[in-house]
């Protein structure tokens, strides 16, 4: 399956996906990394890994989300993309774009959804005093950081955690579960059952 990874920044999840996809028997190929920001640090990492990159800046489109998405869709079509992984992609999509890719677009969020969607999930978790947090890979629906859950991984929250230390530990989990979730999707071992995602025996 041909996959596009969409990024806006650092790209550590992107790098984990590229690494996994380079392994033997991985059922998907990272065909392109697309950034909506020219200064995303992940772009250089992608290039170093030999993955084609494209920059489609969203800023010039302002509030014209559909205009940006038309350009994005063109790039995805041109490369025969079948699946999309959002990896720190900081731009919201229209419901139309999400609908078009429903069941074929994944996102990762650093909390155990449905807890703590949106910004500063680590700070939200610490302020709530939860003792366990983690990361979630889910199918994208129009609502932000929601949608059928594919995989989750947990970490214990320590009393002395700061958003930075918690984020670092959760990132380790993210880098494990995102490639695994993509593997499941690419092998059609996950399927949507209403609002839920079911995984067949692996």
CB of 201 to ligand GRF, least distance (A): 27
Q: Distances from the Cα of 189 to the Cαs of 38, 163, 181, 185, in angstroms?
A: 35, 34, 9, 6
The secondary structure element, H or E, covering residue 168 is: helix 163-186
CB of 32 to ligand GRF, least distance (A): 16
Output 9 or 123, the one with its CB closest to ligand GRF: 9
Output 81 or 106, the one with its CB closest to ligand GRF: 106
Burial class (CB within 10 angstroms; exposed 0-12, middle 13-18, buried 19+) of 189 = middle
Concerning whether 122 is annotated as a catalytic residue, the answer is no
Footprint on this chain of ligand GRF (rule: CB under 6 A): 7, 9-14, 42, 87-88, 108-110, 174
CA dihedral of residues 176, 177, 179, 183 (deg, nearest 10): 130
Output 64 or 120, the one with its CB closest to ligand GRF: 120
Output 96 or 168, the one with its CB closest to ligand GRF: 168
**In this structure, what token pair is assigned to residue 133?**
């947090």
**In this structure, what token pair is assigned to residue 143?**
């609502």
CB of 108 to ligand GRF, least distance (A): 4
The reply to whether 37 sits in an annotated binding site is: no
The reply to whether 107 sits in an annotated binding site is: yes
Do residues 1 and 80 make contact, with C-beta atoms less than 8 angstroms apart? no
CB of 167 to ligand GRF, least distance (A): 7
Closest CA to 98 of 141, 130, 129, 62: 141
Do residues 152 and 177 make contact, with C-beta atoms less than 8 angstroms apart? yes
The reply to whether 104 sits in an annotated binding site is: no
Residue of minimal Cβ distance to ligand GRF: 88
**In this structure, what token pair is assigned to residue 164?**
């930075």
Binding residues: 11-13, 65, 107
Catalytic residues: 109
**Residue ranges for the binding site for (6R)-10-formyltetrahydrofolate?**
65, 107
């Amino acid at each position: 399956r041909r996959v596009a990874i969409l990024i806006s920044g650092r790209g550590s999840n992107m790098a984990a996906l590229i690494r996994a996809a380079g392994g033997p028997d991985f059922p998907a190929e990272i065909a392109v990394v697309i950034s909506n920001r020219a200064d995303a640090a992940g772009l250089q990492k992608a290039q170093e890994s030999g993955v084609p990159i494209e920059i489609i800046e969203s800023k010039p489109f302002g509030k014209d989300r559909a205009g940006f998405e038309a350009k994005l869709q063109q790039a995805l079509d041109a490369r025969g993309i079948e699946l999309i992984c959002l990896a720190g992609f900081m731009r919201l999509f229209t419901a139309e774009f999400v609908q078009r890719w429903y069941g074929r677009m994944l996102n990762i969020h650093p909390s155990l959804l449905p807890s703590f969607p949106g910004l500063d999930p680590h700070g939200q978790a610490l302020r709530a005093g939860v003792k366990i947090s983690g990361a979630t890979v889910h199918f994208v629906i129009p609502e932000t950081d929601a949608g059928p859950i594919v995989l989750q991984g947990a970490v214990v929250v320590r009393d002395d955690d700061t958003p930075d230390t918690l984020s670092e530990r959760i990132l380790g989990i993210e880098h494990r579960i995102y490639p695994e979730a993509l593997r499941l999707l690419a092998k059609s071992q996950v399927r949507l059952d209403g609002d839920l995602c079911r995984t067949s025996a692996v």
